[in-house]
Structure 1
């Protein structure tokens, strides 16, 4: 289902984060500019993560690397399983001769 409005630009999000850091509440900004309060709080949290202020969550680069490593790990496990089955097959074939 299409969105009713296009997503907010990065510049707009940065401005909202700066306004929150300057002391304005997300709720007041939501009434004045349109995005919801929880969205603004999410943008602030994401900005803190990217800047390293919040150490409790992964930054985008770490999430991307983790996703890539999990995919690579899954592929390697599948390849290992294929090789194991091939070894069993050829060992059984060799024993028959």
Structure 2
């Protein structure tokens, strides 16, 4: 299982557009096999910092999900909005209980 958290902060004037772009790719994700991945998006209390949490069964599933055209367009528009080096990607490892 691949687990990822992505955080970034957008300018206040871009929040509404970013939410709309997120909704578009989340709608498109519904056409995929939801048993193979999970993708959730949150906004922090400041209203401008977004947190994307995702997990994928394997790299093939991850590549399929992340190459959906609406997701790629979301990334392009987000990056062009000016993130001021706030974009951070973290790969999470699960704790195995023995």
Higher strand share: 2
What TM-score, normalized by structure 1, do the two folds share?
0.23
Query: Which has more helix, going by share of residues?
Result: 1
Higher relative contact order (CA 8 A, sep 6+): 2
